[in-house]
């Protein structure tokens, strides 16, 4: 299966989870492309964090499955990913999954809300989310959360 993993990652935490997904899915024989987007630092975005410019707008066409990753900012979905999803054409992939990373220990501290917003944006573009999750970066069970997320996401390709 041809899988695209598109992550919006500033600090590298979201990218790290994307890399683990990529590596595990490749070991299962899938063709996997990992693409990272980042915010471009400029005066406008520093004055208003919601006024974000991205360095890259990855295509979603041509994949059998898509995995989106982003981060929680101020108890909400990061503005860069929201902006990206507004510009993406219709999602036609058979399988779509998404995940978030957040600094706080518990997903109820913004992660749950941000994840529901992420799923809504994906659905508005025609995607149906098969699997989703939140990684709490400061939680002492972070590595276990990542392993469980990778395992859950891999199951949808075990057909």
Domain boundaries, the chain: 2-155
Q: What is the pLDDT of residue 153?
A: 94
Average per-residue pLDDT for the chain: 89
- What is the predicted pLDDT for the residue at 39? 85
Cβ(137)–Cβ(13) below 8 Å: yes
Chain centroid offset of residue 149 CA: 12
pLDDT of residue 154: 92
Rounded to 5 degrees, φ, ψ at 30 are -85, 150
3-state secondary structure of 104: coil
CA diameter of the chain: 48
Q: How many Cβ atoms from other residues are within 10 Å of residue 50's Cβ?
A: 13
Over residues 85-144, the pLDDT tens digits come to 999 989 988 899 999 999 876 666 778 899 999 999 999 999 999 999 999 988 899 999
Q: Taking a C-beta distance cutoff of 8 angstroms, is the pair 116, 110 a contact?
A: no
**Per-residue pLDDT at 148 exceeds 60:** yes
pLDDT reading at 61 higher than 60: yes
- Output 148 or 104, whichever has higher pLDDT: 148
Q: Is the pTM value of this prediction over 0.85?
A: yes
CATH code at 2-155: 3.40.50.360
């Amino acid at each position: 299966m041809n899988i695209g993993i598109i992550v919006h990652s500033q600090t590298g935490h979201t990218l790290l989870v994307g890399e683990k997904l990529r590596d595990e899915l490749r070991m299962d024989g899938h063709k996997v492309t990992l693409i990272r987007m980042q915010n471009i630092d400029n005066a406008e975005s520093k004055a208003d964090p919601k006024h974000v410019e991205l360095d890259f707008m990855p295509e979603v066409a041509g994949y059998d499955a898509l995995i989106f990753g982003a981060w929680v900012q101020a108890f909400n979905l990061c503005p860069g990913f929201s902006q990206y999803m507004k510009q993406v054409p219709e999602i036609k992939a058979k399988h779509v999954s998404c995940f978030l990373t957040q600094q706080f220990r518990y997903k109820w501290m913004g992660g749950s809300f941000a994840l529901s917003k992420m799923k809504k944006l994906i659905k508005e573009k025609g995607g149906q989310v098969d699997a989703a999750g939140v990684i709490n970066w400061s939680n002492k069970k972070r590595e276990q959360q990542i392993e469980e997320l990778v395992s859950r996401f891999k199951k949808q390709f075990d057909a």
